[in-house]
Structure 1
Amino acid sequence: MSINAIQGSKSLAKKIKQRRAELGLTIEEAASRAGVGTKTWSRYEAGESIRQDKSKGICKALNWHQLEISGKETLTEFSLDTYKAHECWSEYLEKNFGAIAALSFVIGSDILYDHITDDMEQLAKMPKGSHIGQLNYSFLTDLLPAQFLMYYDYDFLYQLLSELQHLSKCAQAGIEIIAHSVLDELILYLCNEEAQIFIDAEKESLKLNRKEWAKYSKDWVFDLFDDMDIITFLYSYTYLNSENPYHFSHWGDIQFYTNER
Protein backbone atom coordinates (compact mmCIF):
# COMPACT_ATOMS: atom_id res chain seq x y z
CA MET A 1 0.00 0.00 0.00
CA SER A 2 1.36 3.38 -0.90
CA ILE A 3 1.18 6.59 1.08
CA ASN A 4 -2.00 8.63 0.59
CA ALA A 5 -1.89 10.29 -2.80
CA ILE A 6 -3.45 12.92 -5.02
CA GLN A 7 -4.84 11.33 -8.15
CA GLY A 8 -2.82 12.36 -11.17
CA SER A 9 -4.27 13.84 -14.34
CA LYS A 10 -3.17 15.39 -17.61
CA SER A 11 -4.51 18.78 -16.53
CA LEU A 12 -2.51 18.83 -13.28
CA ALA A 13 0.60 17.60 -15.07
CA LYS A 14 0.23 20.39 -17.63
CA LYS A 15 -0.13 23.02 -14.89
CA ILE A 16 3.01 21.78 -13.14
CA LYS A 17 5.03 21.75 -16.34
CA GLN A 18 3.79 25.19 -17.44
CA ARG A 19 4.50 26.73 -14.04
CA ARG A 20 8.02 25.32 -14.02
CA ALA A 21 8.59 26.82 -17.46
CA GLU A 22 7.24 30.19 -16.31
CA LEU A 23 9.77 30.23 -13.48
CA GLY A 24 12.57 29.26 -15.84
CA LEU A 25 13.42 26.12 -13.89
CA THR A 26 14.93 22.94 -15.26
CA ILE A 27 13.51 19.64 -14.05
CA GLU A 28 16.64 19.20 -11.92
CA GLU A 29 16.19 22.62 -10.29
CA ALA A 30 12.48 22.10 -9.64
CA ALA A 31 13.13 18.66 -8.18
CA SER A 32 15.83 20.07 -5.92
CA ARG A 33 13.49 22.76 -4.59
CA ALA A 34 10.76 20.17 -4.00
CA GLY A 35 13.05 17.72 -2.24
CA VAL A 36 12.50 14.89 -4.72
CA GLY A 37 14.55 13.21 -7.42
CA THR A 38 14.42 14.18 -11.08
CA LYS A 39 12.81 10.86 -11.94
CA THR A 40 10.03 11.53 -9.43
CA TRP A 41 9.43 15.06 -10.77
CA SER A 42 9.26 13.74 -14.31
CA ARG A 43 6.48 11.40 -13.19
CA TYR A 44 4.51 14.40 -11.91
CA GLU A 45 4.77 16.03 -15.33
CA ALA A 46 3.69 12.77 -16.95
CA GLY A 47 0.42 12.83 -15.02
CA GLU A 48 1.12 10.17 -12.40
CA SER A 49 -0.26 10.38 -8.86
CA ILE A 50 1.46 12.56 -6.29
CA ARG A 51 2.12 11.33 -2.78
CA GLN A 52 0.43 13.56 -0.22
CA ASP A 53 3.63 14.19 1.71
CA LYS A 54 5.27 15.50 -1.49
CA SER A 55 2.62 18.14 -2.27
CA LYS A 56 4.11 20.83 -0.05
CA GLY A 57 7.49 20.41 -1.71
CA ILE A 58 5.92 20.88 -5.13
CA CYS A 59 4.16 24.04 -3.96
CA LYS A 60 7.44 25.34 -2.56
CA ALA A 61 9.23 24.69 -5.84
CA LEU A 62 6.53 26.38 -7.92
CA ASN A 63 5.73 29.22 -5.52
CA TRP A 64 2.15 28.02 -5.15
CA HIS A 65 0.09 28.40 -2.00
CA GLN A 66 -1.49 25.03 -2.74
CA LEU A 67 -1.69 22.60 -5.61
CA GLU A 68 -4.01 23.92 -8.32
CA ILE A 69 -6.24 20.87 -8.43
CA SER A 70 -9.59 20.43 -10.11
CA GLY A 71 -12.57 18.37 -9.03
CA LYS A 72 -10.96 15.15 -10.23
CA GLU A 73 -7.84 15.57 -8.10
CA THR A 74 -8.55 15.62 -4.40
CA LEU A 75 -6.04 16.47 -1.70
CA THR A 76 -6.53 14.11 1.22
CA GLU A 77 -5.91 15.28 4.77
CA PHE A 78 -2.80 14.05 6.53
CA SER A 79 -3.69 11.30 8.98
CA LEU A 80 -1.51 9.12 11.18
CA ASP A 81 -4.07 6.32 10.82
CA THR A 82 -3.54 6.36 7.06
CA TYR A 83 0.18 5.86 7.49
CA LYS A 84 -0.42 3.03 9.94
CA ALA A 85 -1.95 1.15 7.02
CA HIS A 86 1.27 1.54 5.03
CA GLU A 87 3.02 -1.74 4.27
CA CYS A 88 6.22 -0.55 5.97
CA TRP A 89 4.62 0.51 9.25
CA SER A 90 6.66 -1.13 12.01
CA GLU A 91 4.72 -2.34 15.03
CA TYR A 92 8.07 -2.98 16.69
CA LEU A 93 9.17 0.65 16.34
CA GLU A 94 5.76 1.88 17.43
CA LYS A 95 5.78 -0.26 20.56
CA ASN A 96 9.37 0.45 21.59
CA PHE A 97 10.01 4.01 20.36
CA GLY A 98 6.59 5.53 19.69
CA ALA A 99 4.26 6.06 16.75
CA ILE A 100 6.32 8.90 15.30
CA ALA A 101 9.40 6.67 15.12
CA ALA A 102 7.38 4.21 13.01
CA LEU A 103 6.10 7.12 10.92
CA SER A 104 9.67 8.34 10.42
CA PHE A 105 10.63 4.99 8.94
CA VAL A 106 7.58 4.87 6.65
CA ILE A 107 8.17 8.33 5.20
CA GLY A 108 11.96 8.22 5.31
CA SER A 109 12.22 4.82 3.61
CA ASP A 110 10.03 6.02 0.73
CA ILE A 111 12.14 9.16 0.30
CA LEU A 112 15.42 7.24 0.51
CA TYR A 113 14.09 4.70 -2.01
CA ASP A 114 13.42 7.53 -4.46
CA HIS A 115 16.90 9.00 -3.95
CA ILE A 116 18.62 5.66 -4.50
CA THR A 117 16.65 4.61 -7.58
CA ASP A 118 17.02 8.07 -9.17
CA ASP A 119 20.81 7.84 -8.85
CA MET A 120 20.90 4.23 -10.04
CA GLU A 121 18.99 5.22 -13.18
CA GLN A 122 21.57 7.91 -13.95
CA LEU A 123 24.59 5.71 -13.16
CA ALA A 124 23.24 2.92 -15.38
CA LYS A 125 23.80 5.23 -18.36
CA MET A 126 27.41 6.00 -17.40
CA PRO A 127 30.64 3.95 -17.65
CA LYS A 128 31.20 1.23 -15.06
CA GLY A 129 32.84 2.61 -11.94
CA SER A 130 31.16 6.02 -12.14
CA HIS A 131 30.06 7.39 -8.77
CA ILE A 132 27.33 9.74 -7.56
CA GLY A 133 29.77 12.65 -7.29
CA GLN A 134 29.86 12.69 -11.09
CA LEU A 135 26.10 13.05 -11.51
CA ASN A 136 24.53 16.35 -12.50
CA TYR A 137 22.41 16.17 -9.39
CA SER A 138 22.20 13.71 -6.52
CA PHE A 139 20.54 14.07 -3.11
CA LEU A 140 22.68 11.22 -1.83
CA THR A 141 25.85 13.21 -2.45
CA ASP A 142 24.94 15.51 0.43
CA LEU A 143 23.48 12.76 2.61
CA LEU A 144 26.18 10.10 2.61
CA PRO A 145 29.52 10.49 4.47
CA ALA A 146 31.88 12.65 2.43
CA GLN A 147 35.07 10.62 2.93
CA PHE A 148 33.89 7.75 0.76
CA LEU A 149 32.16 9.69 -2.02
CA MET A 150 34.02 7.98 -4.86
CA TYR A 151 32.98 4.54 -3.61
CA TYR A 152 29.28 5.24 -4.11
CA ASP A 153 28.87 3.52 -7.49
CA TYR A 154 25.99 1.52 -8.98
CA ASP A 155 27.02 -1.65 -7.16
CA PHE A 156 27.02 0.11 -3.79
CA LEU A 157 23.62 1.71 -4.43
CA TYR A 158 22.22 -1.70 -5.31
CA GLN A 159 23.53 -3.01 -1.99
CA LEU A 160 22.05 0.00 -0.19
CA LEU A 161 18.68 -0.58 -1.87
CA SER A 162 18.71 -4.29 -1.05
CA GLU A 163 19.36 -3.61 2.63
CA LEU A 164 16.64 -0.93 2.70
CA GLN A 165 14.23 -3.51 1.28
CA HIS A 166 15.33 -6.02 3.94
CA LEU A 167 14.64 -3.56 6.77
CA SER A 168 11.28 -2.72 5.16
CA LYS A 169 10.36 -6.41 5.16
CA CYS A 170 11.24 -6.61 8.86
CA ALA A 171 8.89 -3.68 9.44
CA GLN A 172 6.13 -5.33 7.40
CA ALA A 173 6.48 -8.54 9.38
CA GLY A 174 6.32 -6.69 12.70
CA ILE A 175 9.58 -8.24 13.86
CA GLU A 176 12.45 -6.59 15.71
CA ILE A 177 14.51 -4.16 13.66
CA ILE A 178 18.19 -4.55 14.51
CA ALA A 179 21.13 -2.62 13.05
CA HIS A 180 23.66 -5.43 12.61
CA SER A 181 25.92 -3.43 10.28
CA VAL A 182 27.06 0.10 9.61
CA LEU A 183 24.92 -0.02 6.47
CA ASP A 184 21.85 -0.78 8.61
CA GLU A 185 22.68 2.11 10.93
CA LEU A 186 23.20 4.45 8.00
CA ILE A 187 19.86 3.56 6.39
CA LEU A 188 17.87 4.01 9.61
CA TYR A 189 19.67 7.27 10.39
CA LEU A 190 18.99 8.70 6.91
CA CYS A 191 15.35 7.59 6.97
CA ASN A 192 14.85 9.48 10.22
CA GLU A 193 16.69 12.59 9.00
CA GLU A 194 14.76 12.76 5.72
CA ALA A 195 11.39 12.39 7.45
CA GLN A 196 11.85 15.17 10.01
CA ILE A 197 10.96 18.21 7.87
CA PHE A 198 7.64 16.68 6.91
CA ILE A 199 6.81 15.50 10.42
CA ASP A 200 7.64 18.86 11.98
CA ALA A 201 5.40 20.60 9.46
CA GLU A 202 2.47 18.28 10.21
CA LYS A 203 2.59 18.23 14.02
CA GLU A 204 -0.91 19.66 14.38
CA SER A 205 -2.40 17.18 11.92
CA LEU A 206 -0.96 14.22 13.81
CA LYS A 207 -3.24 14.93 16.77
CA LEU A 208 -1.14 12.95 19.22
CA ASN A 209 -1.70 13.41 22.94
CA ARG A 210 0.99 14.70 25.28
CA LYS A 211 1.94 11.21 26.38
CA GLU A 212 2.57 10.12 22.80
CA TRP A 213 4.61 13.24 22.01
CA ALA A 214 6.57 12.80 25.24
CA LYS A 215 7.56 9.30 24.15
CA TYR A 216 8.75 10.56 20.78
CA SER A 217 12.32 11.67 20.26
CA LYS A 218 14.14 12.52 17.04
CA ASP A 219 17.04 10.58 18.54
CA TRP A 220 15.15 7.29 18.69
CA VAL A 221 17.62 5.84 16.19
CA PHE A 222 20.49 6.31 18.63
CA ASP A 223 18.45 4.55 21.31
CA LEU A 224 17.99 1.70 18.85
CA PHE A 225 21.76 1.64 18.10
CA ASP A 226 22.59 2.13 21.81
CA ASP A 227 25.27 4.68 20.83
CA MET A 228 26.01 7.65 18.54
CA ASP A 229 29.03 6.12 16.81
CA ILE A 230 27.60 6.77 13.35
CA ILE A 231 27.81 10.51 14.04
CA THR A 232 31.17 10.29 15.81
CA PHE A 233 32.85 8.40 13.00
CA LEU A 234 30.95 9.21 9.80
CA TYR A 235 29.63 12.74 10.23
CA SER A 236 32.32 14.51 12.25
CA TYR A 237 35.02 14.68 9.56
CA THR A 238 37.14 12.12 11.37
CA TYR A 239 39.52 10.39 8.97
CA LEU A 240 39.00 6.63 9.07
CA ASN A 241 41.65 4.11 8.05
CA SER A 242 40.78 0.66 6.74
CA GLU A 243 41.06 -0.90 10.21
CA ASN A 244 38.27 1.22 11.67
CA PRO A 245 34.97 -0.71 11.83
CA TYR A 246 33.20 2.32 10.32
CA HIS A 247 35.48 2.42 7.26
CA PHE A 248 33.58 1.90 4.00
CA SER A 249 35.18 -1.54 3.51
CA HIS A 250 33.33 -2.79 6.62
CA TRP A 251 29.91 -1.24 6.06
CA GLY A 252 28.34 -4.53 5.02
CA ASP A 253 29.95 -6.60 7.79
CA ILE A 254 27.75 -8.05 10.52
CA GLN A 255 29.35 -6.37 13.55
CA PHE A 256 26.68 -5.35 16.06
CA TYR A 257 24.31 -7.37 18.26
CA THR A 258 25.65 -10.71 17.09
CA ASN A 259 25.49 -13.97 19.01
CA GLU A 260 29.22 -13.74 19.72
CA ARG A 261 28.75 -10.59 21.80
Structure 2
Amino acid sequence: MANKCIQGNESLAKKIKFRRNELHLTIEEAAIRAGVGSKTWSRYEAGGSIRLDKCKGICKALNWNKFPDDEASNDSKDSFKDLKKHDAWSKFLEINYGAKAAIAFAVGSDIISDQIEEDLQELSLRPKGTHIGELSMSWLKESLPKQFLTKYNYEFLYLLKCTLNKMRLRAKNGVSMIAHSVIEELLFYLCNEEAVVWLEMNESINESLGNEDFDIQNWIFELFDDVDILTNLYNNVYLDSEHSYHFSHWEDCQFYVDR
Protein backbone atom coordinates (compact mmCIF):
# COMPACT_ATOMS: atom_id res chain seq x y z
CA MET A 1 0.00 0.00 0.00
CA ALA A 2 1.21 3.54 -0.75
CA ASN A 3 -0.34 5.24 2.24
CA LYS A 4 2.69 6.71 4.02
CA CYS A 5 2.43 8.12 7.52
CA ILE A 6 3.25 11.36 9.25
CA GLN A 7 5.21 10.40 12.31
CA GLY A 8 3.29 11.43 15.38
CA ASN A 9 4.90 13.58 18.07
CA GLU A 10 3.95 15.57 21.15
CA SER A 11 3.88 18.93 19.35
CA LEU A 12 1.46 17.76 16.64
CA ALA A 13 -0.73 15.96 19.20
CA LYS A 14 -1.02 19.16 21.26
CA LYS A 15 -2.00 21.19 18.17
CA ILE A 16 -4.76 18.72 17.28
CA LYS A 17 -6.12 18.59 20.83
CA PHE A 18 -5.91 22.37 21.31
CA ARG A 19 -7.76 23.05 18.07
CA ARG A 20 -10.46 20.49 18.87
CA ASN A 21 -11.04 22.11 22.26
CA GLU A 22 -10.99 25.54 20.65
CA LEU A 23 -13.88 24.43 18.43
CA HIS A 24 -15.68 22.91 21.45
CA LEU A 25 -15.75 19.46 19.87
CA THR A 26 -15.75 16.18 21.72
CA ILE A 27 -13.42 13.45 20.50
CA GLU A 28 -16.45 11.61 19.10
CA GLU A 29 -17.65 14.70 17.20
CA ALA A 30 -14.19 15.39 15.77
CA ALA A 31 -13.79 11.76 14.74
CA ILE A 32 -17.15 11.76 12.91
CA ARG A 33 -16.19 14.93 11.05
CA ALA A 34 -12.86 13.39 10.07
CA GLY A 35 -14.34 10.05 9.04
CA VAL A 36 -12.32 8.00 11.53
CA GLY A 37 -13.11 6.09 14.69
CA SER A 38 -12.95 7.66 18.16
CA LYS A 39 -10.07 5.36 19.13
CA THR A 40 -8.11 6.46 16.06
CA TRP A 41 -8.62 10.13 16.92
CA SER A 42 -7.54 9.47 20.50
CA ARG A 43 -4.30 7.99 19.15
CA TYR A 44 -3.71 11.19 17.17
CA GLU A 45 -3.98 13.23 20.37
CA ALA A 46 -1.67 10.77 22.14
CA GLY A 47 1.06 11.32 19.55
CA GLY A 48 0.35 8.37 17.27
CA SER A 49 1.27 8.38 13.58
CA ILE A 50 -1.24 9.65 11.02
CA ARG A 51 -1.79 8.14 7.57
CA LEU A 52 -1.49 10.74 4.82
CA ASP A 53 -4.91 9.95 3.38
CA LYS A 54 -6.48 10.78 6.78
CA CYS A 55 -4.98 14.28 6.90
CA LYS A 56 -7.73 15.67 4.67
CA GLY A 57 -10.33 14.50 7.17
CA ILE A 58 -8.46 15.99 10.13
CA CYS A 59 -8.22 19.32 8.32
CA LYS A 60 -11.95 19.20 7.60
CA ALA A 61 -12.78 18.37 11.22
CA LEU A 62 -10.60 21.15 12.61
CA ASN A 63 -11.33 23.77 9.91
CA TRP A 64 -7.66 23.90 8.92
CA ASN A 65 -6.84 25.07 5.39
CA LYS A 66 -3.86 22.73 5.37
CA PHE A 67 -2.04 20.36 7.68
CA PRO A 68 0.68 22.03 9.81
CA ASP A 69 3.69 22.35 7.49
CA ASP A 70 6.29 21.70 10.14
CA GLU A 71 4.80 18.27 10.84
CA ALA A 72 4.37 17.08 7.28
CA SER A 73 7.85 15.70 6.71
CA ASN A 74 7.05 12.07 6.03
CA ASP A 75 8.45 10.12 3.10
CA SER A 76 12.01 8.95 2.81
CA LYS A 77 14.11 9.71 -0.25
CA ASP A 78 13.51 6.27 -1.73
CA SER A 79 9.70 6.53 -1.47
CA PHE A 80 9.37 6.96 -5.26
CA LYS A 81 11.16 3.63 -5.71
CA ASP A 82 8.71 2.11 -3.25
CA LEU A 83 5.77 3.46 -5.23
CA LYS A 84 7.04 1.83 -8.42
CA LYS A 85 6.70 -1.51 -6.60
CA HIS A 86 3.06 -0.77 -5.77
CA ASP A 87 0.54 -3.47 -6.70
CA ALA A 88 -1.45 -0.93 -8.73
CA TRP A 89 1.50 0.72 -10.51
CA SER A 90 0.63 1.06 -14.19
CA LYS A 91 3.42 0.95 -16.76
CA PHE A 92 0.80 1.95 -19.34
CA LEU A 93 0.05 5.20 -17.49
CA GLU A 94 3.73 5.83 -16.77
CA ILE A 95 4.74 5.44 -20.43
CA ASN A 96 1.80 7.32 -21.94
CA TYR A 97 1.06 10.00 -19.34
CA GLY A 98 4.09 10.19 -17.06
CA ALA A 99 5.15 8.90 -13.66
CA LYS A 100 2.78 11.18 -11.76
CA ALA A 101 -0.18 9.65 -13.58
CA ALA A 102 0.91 6.20 -12.43
CA ILE A 103 1.40 7.58 -8.91
CA ALA A 104 -2.02 9.23 -8.98
CA PHE A 105 -3.80 5.98 -9.81
CA ALA A 106 -1.78 3.82 -7.42
CA VAL A 107 -2.14 6.16 -4.45
CA GLY A 108 -5.66 7.32 -5.29
CA SER A 109 -6.95 3.77 -5.70
CA ASP A 110 -5.60 2.91 -2.24
CA ILE A 111 -7.51 5.80 -0.72
CA ILE A 112 -10.75 5.15 -2.64
CA SER A 113 -10.53 1.45 -1.74
CA ASP A 114 -10.37 2.41 1.93
CA GLN A 115 -13.33 4.76 1.56
CA ILE A 116 -15.42 2.07 -0.16
CA GLU A 117 -14.56 -0.46 2.55
CA GLU A 118 -15.51 1.99 5.31
CA ASP A 119 -18.91 2.67 3.72
CA LEU A 120 -19.51 -1.02 3.01
CA GLN A 121 -18.88 -1.79 6.65
CA GLU A 122 -21.33 0.90 7.77
CA LEU A 123 -23.99 -0.13 5.24
CA SER A 124 -23.71 -3.78 6.27
CA LEU A 125 -25.00 -2.74 9.70
CA ARG A 126 -28.02 -0.89 8.28
CA PRO A 127 -31.33 -2.12 6.79
CA LYS A 128 -31.24 -3.32 3.18
CA GLY A 129 -31.55 -0.44 0.74
CA THR A 130 -29.81 2.12 2.95
CA HIS A 131 -27.68 4.50 0.85
CA ILE A 132 -24.57 6.46 1.80
CA GLY A 133 -26.54 9.70 2.05
CA GLU A 134 -28.06 8.26 5.22
CA LEU A 135 -24.68 7.65 6.88
CA SER A 136 -23.42 10.14 9.45
CA MET A 137 -20.03 10.24 7.72
CA SER A 138 -19.00 9.17 4.22
CA TRP A 139 -16.27 10.61 2.01
CA LEU A 140 -17.89 9.00 -1.02
CA LYS A 141 -21.10 10.86 -0.25
CA GLU A 142 -19.20 14.11 -0.78
CA SER A 143 -17.45 12.85 -3.94
CA LEU A 144 -20.00 10.93 -6.02
CA PRO A 145 -22.46 12.74 -8.36
CA LYS A 146 -25.37 14.13 -6.35
CA GLN A 147 -28.20 13.26 -8.76
CA PHE A 148 -27.95 9.54 -8.02
CA LEU A 149 -27.24 9.70 -4.28
CA THR A 150 -30.08 7.32 -3.36
CA LYS A 151 -28.63 4.68 -5.71
CA TYR A 152 -25.39 4.34 -3.75
CA ASN A 153 -26.34 1.36 -1.59
CA TYR A 154 -24.39 -1.73 -0.51
CA GLU A 155 -24.81 -3.48 -3.86
CA PHE A 156 -23.54 -0.47 -5.81
CA LEU A 157 -20.53 0.01 -3.54
CA TYR A 158 -19.68 -3.65 -3.90
CA LEU A 159 -19.79 -3.19 -7.68
CA LEU A 160 -17.56 -0.12 -7.29
CA LYS A 161 -15.10 -2.17 -5.23
CA CYS A 162 -14.98 -5.02 -7.76
CA THR A 163 -14.56 -2.63 -10.69
CA LEU A 164 -11.69 -0.83 -8.98
CA ASN A 165 -10.00 -4.14 -8.16
CA LYS A 166 -10.19 -5.11 -11.86
CA MET A 167 -8.65 -1.76 -12.83
CA ARG A 168 -5.84 -2.25 -10.29
CA LEU A 169 -5.20 -5.71 -11.73
CA ARG A 170 -4.95 -4.23 -15.22
CA ALA A 171 -2.48 -1.69 -13.89
CA LYS A 172 -0.38 -4.40 -12.25
CA ASN A 173 -0.30 -6.44 -15.46
CA GLY A 174 0.80 -3.45 -17.54
CA VAL A 175 -2.14 -3.56 -19.96
CA SER A 176 -4.17 -0.67 -21.35
CA MET A 177 -5.97 1.49 -18.81
CA ILE A 178 -8.42 3.05 -21.28
CA ALA A 179 -11.82 3.51 -19.60
CA HIS A 180 -14.64 1.65 -21.36
CA SER A 181 -17.54 2.64 -19.09
CA VAL A 182 -18.79 5.54 -17.01
CA ILE A 183 -18.04 3.68 -13.78
CA GLU A 184 -14.40 3.29 -14.84
CA GLU A 185 -14.16 6.96 -15.78
CA LEU A 186 -15.73 7.86 -12.44
CA LEU A 187 -13.23 5.74 -10.51
CA PHE A 188 -10.30 7.30 -12.38
CA TYR A 189 -11.69 10.74 -11.55
CA LEU A 190 -12.20 9.94 -7.85
CA CYS A 191 -8.74 8.38 -7.54
CA ASN A 192 -7.12 11.41 -9.12
CA GLU A 193 -9.00 13.87 -6.91
CA GLU A 194 -7.68 12.10 -3.80
CA ALA A 195 -4.18 11.81 -5.26
CA VAL A 196 -4.04 15.58 -5.86
CA VAL A 197 -4.29 16.18 -2.11
CA TRP A 198 -1.77 13.42 -1.36
CA LEU A 199 0.79 14.77 -3.82
CA GLU A 200 0.41 18.33 -2.55
CA MET A 201 1.41 17.09 0.90
CA ASN A 202 4.21 14.86 -0.36
CA GLU A 203 7.03 17.21 -1.28
CA SER A 204 9.66 14.47 -1.46
CA ILE A 205 7.83 12.77 -4.35
CA ASN A 206 7.64 16.01 -6.31
CA GLU A 207 11.34 16.67 -5.67
CA SER A 208 12.31 13.17 -6.80
CA LEU A 209 10.45 13.69 -10.09
CA GLY A 210 12.14 17.01 -10.73
CA ASN A 211 10.38 19.45 -13.05
CA GLU A 212 8.34 16.89 -14.92
CA ASP A 213 5.93 18.74 -17.22
CA PHE A 214 2.67 17.39 -15.84
CA ASP A 215 -0.75 18.67 -14.86
CA ILE A 216 -2.08 16.39 -12.13
CA GLN A 217 -5.57 17.80 -12.63
CA ASN A 218 -5.87 17.08 -16.35
CA TRP A 219 -4.10 13.84 -17.32
CA ILE A 220 -7.29 11.80 -16.88
CA PHE A 221 -9.09 14.00 -19.41
CA GLU A 222 -6.33 13.19 -21.89
CA LEU A 223 -6.95 9.54 -21.09
CA PHE A 224 -10.71 9.97 -21.64
CA ASP A 225 -10.15 12.24 -24.67
CA ASP A 226 -12.89 14.55 -23.34
CA VAL A 227 -14.27 16.18 -20.17
CA ASP A 228 -17.73 14.62 -20.45
CA ILE A 229 -17.63 13.26 -16.92
CA LEU A 230 -17.41 16.82 -15.56
CA THR A 231 -19.91 18.23 -18.04
CA ASN A 232 -22.51 15.56 -17.37
CA LEU A 233 -22.00 14.40 -13.79
CA TYR A 234 -20.54 17.37 -11.92
CA ASN A 235 -22.22 20.34 -13.59
CA ASN A 236 -25.77 20.29 -12.14
CA VAL A 237 -27.21 18.91 -15.38
CA TYR A 238 -30.26 16.67 -15.03
CA LEU A 239 -29.82 13.38 -16.91
CA ASP A 240 -32.77 11.29 -18.06
CA SER A 241 -32.63 7.52 -18.40
CA GLU A 242 -31.73 7.74 -22.10
CA HIS A 243 -28.55 9.71 -21.48
CA SER A 244 -25.31 7.71 -21.75
CA TYR A 245 -24.15 9.08 -18.38
CA HIS A 246 -27.36 8.20 -16.54
CA PHE A 247 -26.83 5.83 -13.60
CA SER A 248 -28.58 3.01 -15.48
CA HIS A 249 -25.77 3.03 -18.08
CA TRP A 250 -22.74 3.28 -15.81
CA GLU A 251 -21.79 -0.38 -16.33
CA ASP A 252 -22.27 -0.31 -20.12
CA CYS A 253 -19.17 -0.66 -22.28
CA GLN A 254 -19.55 2.36 -24.53
CA PHE A 255 -16.17 4.13 -24.83
CA TYR A 256 -13.35 3.07 -27.17
CA VAL A 257 -15.18 -0.14 -27.94
CA ASP A 258 -15.38 -1.66 -31.44
CA ARG A 259 -18.98 -2.05 -32.54
Give the C-alpha shift of residue 44 in structure 1: 7.1
Gaps of 5+ in 1: 69-73
Task: Give 2:137's aligned residue.
Answer: 137
Task: Give 1:84's aligned residue.
Answer: 84
Give the C-alpha shift of residue 77 in structure 1: 2.4
Q: TM-score, normalised by structure 1?
A: 0.79
Task: Give 2:256's aligned residue.
Answer: 257
CA distance in structure 2 between the partners assigned to 1:163 and 1:32 by the alignment: 28
For residues 115-164 of structure 1, give each alpha carbon's deviation from its aligned partner in whole angstroms, at most 9, with x where no partner exists.
Answer: 11111111111110110010011111110000000000000000001001
Contact 2:199 2:205 in 1 (8 A): no
Task: Give 1:71's aligned residue.
Answer: none
Q: Percent identity?
A: 46
CA distance in structure 2 between the partners assigned to 1:123 and 1:175 by the alignment: 34
Task: Give 2:36's aligned residue.
Answer: 38
Q: TM-score, normalised by structure 2?
A: 0.79
Task: Give 1:247's aligned residue.
Answer: 246
The RMSD of aligned alpha carbons is 3.4
Taking structure 1 as reference, are residues 139 and 129 closer, same or farther at Cα in structure 2, changes over 3 Å only?
same
Taking structure 1 as reference, are residues 243 and 134 closer, same or farther at Cα in structure 2, changes over 3 Å only?
same
Matched AA of 2:120: M
Matches within 5 A, 1:182-197: 182-197=182-197
More moved, 176-185 vs 19-28: 19-28
Matched AA of 1:225: F
CA distance in structure 1 between the partners assigned to 2:198 and 2:104 by the alignment: 9
Matches within 5 A, 1:210-249: 210=211, 212=212, 214-249=213-248
Taking structure 1 as reference, are residues 110 and 20 closer, same or farther at Cα in structure 2, changes over 3 Å only?
farther
Give the C-alpha shift of residue 89 in structure 1: 1.0
Contact 2:181 2:254 in 1 (8 A): yes
For residues 60-93 of structure 1, give each alpha carbon's deviation from its aligned partner in whole angstroms, at most 9, with x where no partner exists.
Answer: 867885899xxxxx95426322211211111110
Task: Give 1:163's aligned residue.
Answer: 163
Task: Give 2:102's aligned residue.
Answer: 102
For residues 154-211 of structure 1, give each alpha carbon's deviation from its aligned partner in whole angstroms, at most 9, with x where no partner exists.
Answer: 000000010010100011111110211000000001100111022123345422233x
Q: Count matched residues.
A: 248
Taking structure 1 as reference, are residues 225 and 59 closer, same or farther at Cα in structure 2, changes over 3 Å only?
closer
